[in-house]
Amino acid sequence: MQPPEKNLKIVENSLFARIARWKLKSSNVAMVLGKTIHLSGVSKEKFLRDTPWVAHELCHVRQFKEHGYLKFLWLYLVESLHVGYYNNKFEVEARMAGVKEEHLAKNKLTTPPPTAV
């Protein structure tokens, strides 16, 4: 399967993701560094099938692009220290992207509603 964005790399069994996984006490983790999605505890195939999760991580890819590599890492760290992981504004934004994608995926399964007049 092709990654959903150009120049995007996906690394399985990543050491970075393993550290994040241990820190977050999570059984599977995907984390973004620049244009690379690092995975631990989940295969690339399984990850790509979970479109809301992919949308979440792609949002982080965009954030890296928007702010620049080091600046984003710094902003993310400062934000995490101030408000924690869950309320981190970059996580909130990425979570919204995931929720939106989940909603779209659900709607695809049902028949489109009749055109409103």
**DSSP code per residue over 5-67:** STT-EEETT-HHHHHHHHHHT-SSEEEEETTEEEEESS-HHHHHH-HHHHHHHHHHHHHHHHH
CB of 46 to Zn ion, least distance (A): 17
What are the tokens at 33?
């560094």
61 part of the interface to Zn ion, by CB under 5 A: no
94 part of the interface to Zn ion, by CB under 5 A: yes
39 part of the interface to Zn ion, by CB under 5 A: no
CB of 60 to Zn ion, least distance (A): 6
Of the pair 91, 101, the CB lying nearest Zn ion is at: 91
Point out which residues bind Zn ion (CB under 5 A). 91, 94
